[in-house]
Amino acid sequence: MQSAQKDHRQDVGEALTSPVQGHLIDGELRAGADFYEVVNPATGRAFALCPSATQQDLDDAAAAARREAPAWRARSAEDRRALIADFADRMVAAAADIAPLLTQEHGKPLEQAKFELTVAAHHMKQLSAIPIGDEVLRDDEAKGRVLMRYHPLGVVGAIAPWNFPIALAMHKVAQALYTGNTLILKPSPFTPLATLAVAALARDVFPAGVINVIAGGNEFGAWMTSHPGIDKITFTGSTETGKKIMASASATLKRITLELGGNDAALVLDDADLDVVVPGLARSAFYNSGQICMATKRVYVADSLHDAFVERLAKAVEQHRLGDGMQANSTLGPLQNVVQFDKVKTYLAGAVARDGAQVKTGGQVSQDGGYFITPTIITGLDDDAPLVREEQFGPVLPVLRFTDVEDAVARINDSRFGLGASVWSRDVERALSVAERLNAGTVWVNRHGVNESEVPFGGMKDSGYGREHGQMGLRSYMELQVISLPPRA
């Protein structure tokens, strides 16, 4: 995404302005000299300007975070937890004001935008309640004691995605700050405005320099990953970008956590209860227009249930009301950006053109400027179809048949992704035995996509590196120090 010059407002008209005060750097809201356009995906047109940060802005933020790191680290976990809770409460109080901005830049329905803000605050409180104290590995009179001490890494650089701009950013904020680190947060250039609005709330809670929030284009992310003043990068986004981050961060041996793409499969066994399966998958596959890393993106259904499942799922999906998120009756918004819109259109067109493919519902693509695709279910595809093999990240779902469970497990595992999966059966123990054989970081039984702060989350294979959430995720923001003491005299 390219930055515009200072006189850009003259090019696009005076109506296009910035609704935010600027970046949060060292406790001050810094207005930008340059701006770039932010597009409303419901119209396909720019609706606001966002300040674009410079390398000097990043240097200033890194210096402030480094300066404040010792004092922040010296605070107790309880003290840091209390400030995070205060910040979370202010987010909830401001949710009704910030949500319209989130809806305009993202496209999601207004009520879902409000929910994202409030649930983000809830998870911040949960994450900062998880114990992170030191541990005693051994206490033996003959061998001595071994203590495991956990220290903050220093300065964390967090790069957030556009699909849940607030929730996924604030998860990183809570984990970094609670574990005693200071932070530089970069929102996606597609969805920066609501995050900057939230940052203005943080200014009145945390000491200057503890949290810095800076918006910029893709080049800004590259500056962060190579910056010598940043000790860890936590990133949520595409696998391709994650690999670039890993390469860039290696020069300074930064610690990294990468929560990357997924092609989550749902496996519906022949004894599954469709009264449970259909609403569960209708939500997990199409909520947020399918733009969720752990959304259901392909479904394997036992042959005996296939036709009934597809018929019922199509009816459930047809209940969605596709439209501008600012319209009160909308339940499903557009794709967030034109790049993703074009990508999903390509997957859809390729799938429809394949022999045997059948569109059971949906398949319509907006032609009037907005990035809308109706919720779509397609059957009759082979496993080698790009819609099946790759992560579409949109409201287009392939449903495939199987007759042998072992064959279905092998087909699901034949993927470069391994983020999540689900198994559906009336027999939970049977489902568990199947779940254990799926190569995915999380496998749900009779549900899909449950997000819990105390449970570690991350992927296998190309779906990520490390874990977020839970004590394991919090520890990834800390450095382990082993202290070995001699036997007691």
DSSP classification of residue 373:
B
pLDDT the model gives residue 2? 34
Judgement on whether residues 398 and 254 belong to the same structural domain of the protein: no
Give strand ranges (E) for 226-322: 232-236, 255-259, 265-268, 298-302
Judgement on whether residues 243 and 283 belong to the same structural domain of the protein: no
Distance CA 191, CA 98 (A): 13
Domains held by the chain: number: 2
Would 487 be classed as within a structural domain? no
* CATH number (domain holding residue 442): 3.40.309.10
pLDDT the model gives residue 342? 98
Residue with tokens 């082993």: 482
Q: Hey, what amino acid is at 185?
A: L
Distance CA 439, CA 97 (A): 42
Contacts of 163 (CB under 8 A, 6+ apart): 288, 291, 292, 293, 336, 393
Judgement on whether residues 180 and 245 belong to the same structural domain of the protein: yes
Judgement on whether residues 80 and 229 belong to the same structural domain of the protein: yes
Judgement on whether residues 63 and 170 belong to the same structural domain of the protein: yes
pLDDT the model gives residue 12? 42
Judgement on whether residues 251 and 270 belong to the same structural domain of the protein: no
Q: Which of 68, 293, 391, 468 is catalytic?
A: 293
CA atoms within 13 A on the CB side of 445: 13
pLDDT the model gives residue 14? 52
Choose among 394, 334, 367: nearest CA to 108: 334
Choose among 78, 214, 90: nearest CA to 157: 214
Judgement on whether residues 135 and 271 belong to the same structural domain of the protein: no
Query: pLDDT below 70 — which residues of the chain?
Result: 1-14
Strand order of the β-sheet with 478-485 is 135-140, 144-152, 478-485
DSSP classification of residue 332:
B
Would 361 be classed as within a structural domain? yes
Give the CA distances from residue 298 to residues 67, 262, 389, in Å, rounded to whole numbers and listed in that order: 48, 11, 9
Would 404 be classed as within a structural domain? yes
And the tokens for 241?
């970008």
Q: Is the dihedral of CA 100, 106, 111, 116 positive or negative?
A: negative
- Is residue 436 annotated as a catalytic residue, yes or no? no
Distance CA 87, CA 324 (A): 30
pLDDT the model gives residue 32? 82
Judgement on whether residues 340 and 275 belong to the same structural domain of the protein: yes
Judgement on whether residues 282 and 220 belong to the same structural domain of the protein: no
Would 476 be classed as within a structural domain? yes
And the tokens for 414?
């034949």
Judgement on whether residues 437 and 471 belong to the same structural domain of the protein: no
- 3-state SS class at 386: helix
pLDDT the model gives residue 7? 35
Contacts of 98 (CB under 8 A, 6+ apart): 91, 117, 194, 197, 198
* CATH number (domain holding residue 228): 3.40.605.10
Q: Which of 37, 259, 391, 468 is catalytic?
A: 259
Q: CB neighbours (10 Å) of residue 338?
A: 13
Distance CA 313, CA 165 (A): 29
Helix-then-strand count for the chain, H and E: 15, 22
Judgement on whether residues 244 and 387 belong to the same structural domain of the protein: no
Would 131 be classed as within a structural domain? yes
Can you give the residue range of the structural domain that contains 215? 8-260+467-480
Degrees, nearest 5: CA angle 394-400-403: 155
Would 376 be classed as within a structural domain? yes
pLDDT the model gives residue 218? 81
Q: Is the dihedral of CA 195, 198, 204, 207 positive or negative?
A: negative
Q: pTM for the whole thing?
A: 0.94
Judgement on whether residues 244 and 341 belong to the same structural domain of the protein: no
Would 317 be classed as within a structural domain? yes
Distance CA 34, CA 216 (A): 10
DSSP assignment of 397-411: EEEEEES-HHHHHHH
- Is residue 259 annotated as a catalytic residue, yes or no? yes
Distance CA 248, CA 253 (A): 9
Would 352 be classed as within a structural domain? yes
